[in-house]
Amino acid sequence: MNLWFVSTVLTIEFIGIAFKNGSNNSPAHLFWIPATTIVLALLASRQARISAERWGEWVKASFDVFLPELCSKLGYKRPVSPKEEREFWLTFSQAITYRYPGSIDDLAERRINEPCTKKPQGDNEGEDD
């Protein structure tokens, strides 16, 4: 991204200097500078996009690897088939994001254990003895 920015600034600067000095004072052999910087800017932009897409694939893949463990740690039964897994995570997403009552009820049915609502011992903040 830095190369793209520098290339763009150099192109704009060169064009500004060329207009300020007039076409008679600008050497024609220096017009390779903006052409080169434009090509560099396009190449840098393309490479940055490709790198971002690859990084996104790595992040999604690493997240998918740990989905079964996350499901267990959240206290839910693991889905058996890939279709059930997609449905489960869609329901989970809707329950967390939108608080849909139907989604929350579906999740409650999939729980292995009831969620712990008891206060841990030793957590007596704000209580008088």
Residue range 7-43, pLDDT digits in tens: 888 888 887 877 777 656 656 667 777 788 888 888 8
CA distance 18 to 29: 12
CA distance 127 to 129: 6
Looking at residue 109, its pLDDT comes to: 82
CA distance 69 to 62: 12
Looking at residue 51, its pLDDT comes to: 92
CA distance 46 to 6: 15
What values do phi and psi take at 76, rounded to 5? -110, 155
Cα radius of gyration rounded to whole Å, the chain: 29
Question: Cβ contacts of residue 88 below 8 Å, gap of 6+?
Answer: 71, 76, 79, 110
